């Protein structure tokens, strides 16, 4: 099944895929956070978000106005490169190809699950023609 990138369907598939990864759940078992994602050069595409509680996704859908701990955004071109693995999550973050708002100290502390998280985004078959 192929979902449109940044659609509600896509982020829900991301949430389901997240919950199949025992390593991320183990590493984040004492961690609660919300992430919001959007495409910098596509303001017409609504933002989507994940809410993780104790390592499990409990909400995946449209951004609903709740407080976000982390916001990540970049251009469509860079999203494609990150999701394809052409650019690693850590490299994208460090070179500011992936923009990030939130506690950098927390992100660094959880760099392994952060990279798994970005890999999960890339595991979902996606249609970038939006």
Task: Inform me whether the pLDDT recorded for 74 exceeds 80.
Answer: yes
pLDDT tens for each residue of 32-51: 999 999 999 999 999 999 99
Please state, rounded to an integer, the average pLDDT across all residues of the chain.
Answer: 91
- Give the 3-state secondary structure of residue 50: strand
Q: What is the pLDDT of residues 81-116, one digit of tens each?
A: 999 989 887 788 889 899 999 998 888 888 888 888
Q: What is the pLDDT of residue 25?
A: 85
Q: How far apart are CA 78 and CA 74, in angstroms?
A: 6
Q: What is the pTM for the complete model shown?
A: 0.89
- pLDDT classification of 58: cutoffs 50, 70, 90: very high
Give the span between the Cα atoms of 39 and 17, in whole angstroms. Answer: 21
Model pLDDT, residue 8: 96
Helix (H, G, I), strand (E, B) or coil at 20: coil
Q: Is 99 exposed, middle or buried (0-12, 13-18, 19+ CB in 10 A)?
A: middle
Domain architecture of the chain: domains with CATH: 3-120 (3.30.1050.10)
The answer to whether the CB of 55 falls within 8 A of the CB of 25 is yes
Q: Which two tokens stand for residue 85?
A: 């693995």
């Amino acid at each position: 099944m192929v979902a449109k990138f940044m659609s509600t369907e896509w982020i829900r598939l991301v949430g389901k895929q997240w919950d199949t990864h025992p390593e991320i759940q183990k590493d984040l078992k004492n961690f609660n956070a919300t992430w919001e994602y959007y495409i910098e050069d596509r303001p017409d595409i609504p933002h989507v978000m994940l809410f993780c509680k104790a390592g499990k996704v409990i909400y995946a859908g449209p951004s609903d106005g709740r407080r976000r701990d982390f916001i990540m955004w970049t251009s469509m071109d860079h999203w494609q490169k990150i999701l394809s693995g052409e650019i690693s999550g850590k490299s994208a973050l460090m070179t500011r190809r992936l923009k990030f708002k939130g506690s950098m100290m927390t992100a660094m502390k959880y760099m392994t699950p952060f990279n798994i998280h970005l890999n999960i985004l890339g595991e979902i078959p996606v249609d970038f023609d939006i």
